[in-house]
Amino acid sequence: MEKAIFLDRDGTINEEMGYINHISRFHIFPFTFEALKVFKKCGYKLVVITNQAGLARGYFSEDVLRDVHGMLEKRARDAGVPLDKIYFCPHLPGAPVKKYDRMCNCRKPKTGMLEQARDELNIDLSRSVMIGDRYKDVLFGKKMGLKTVMVLTGYGKGEYTYQKEQWKEKPDIVADNLLDAAMKICQPKG
Ligand SMILES: [Mg+2]
Ligand SMILES: [Zn+2]
């Protein structure tokens, strides 16, 4: 069994820009691949798990999403840290694009994508980590027994600053960004 880092996409590995309806809006953080190298070196598989309801809303097409993920995968390969898999949920109940109008099992915080990754990639979730910029990413990871990290990029800083008093669960680690998360997970001090 393998261990994995599960990465939210928007706000965690790239700038939160709202809907990425053109590849020009996909800005990978300058520290992302350095962070992925640290994770890989300490033995984690790298899996991206992202809700992309913009597909269901008709805000962008599968072609755009394919281009964006193709670029991300290529950049990761070129940096020597190929991603093991990108999972995305295109669904939304009541959405205008009928083929994605569904109450699915994969839209975070539902756990379908984690279960699929566990089964397809032979991952031990109890040794794995979920990293995201939203409280809902923390809840999502906790549901399946993962360690959770909240990064303060994307929506993270605002949610953490103004909403944490209301949270029922706390992230195991709070990190400034993905690289800080990698250091805290893989090279803990003292
Ligand atoms: Mg996010
Ligand atoms: Zn779904």
DSSP-assigned states of every residue in 140-175: HHHHTT-EEEEESTTTHHHHHHHHGGG-SS--SEEE
Q: Averaged in consecutive runs of 10 residues, what is the pLDDT profile of the chain (190 residues)?
A: 97 96 97 98 97 95 97 98 98 95 94 96 97 96 97 98 95 98 87
Give the pLDDT score at 188.
Answer: 73
Give the pLDDT score at 187.
Answer: 84
Q: Are residues 100 and 90 in contact, defined by beta-carbon separation less than 8 angstroms?
A: yes
| Spatial separation of the C-alpha atoms in residues 3 and 160, rounded to whole Å | 27
Give the pLDDT score at 82.
Answer: 98
Tell me how far the alpha carbon of residue 126 lies from the centroid of ligand 1, in angstroms. 22
**8 assigned to active site:** yes
Prior bond of 30 cis (ω within 30°): no
Tell me how far the alpha carbon of residue 91 lies from the centroid of ligand 2, in angstroms. 4
Q: Which ligand is nearest to the CA of 111?
A: 2
Domains of the chain: 7-124+137-186 (3.40.50.1000)
pTM recorded for the entire structure: 0.96
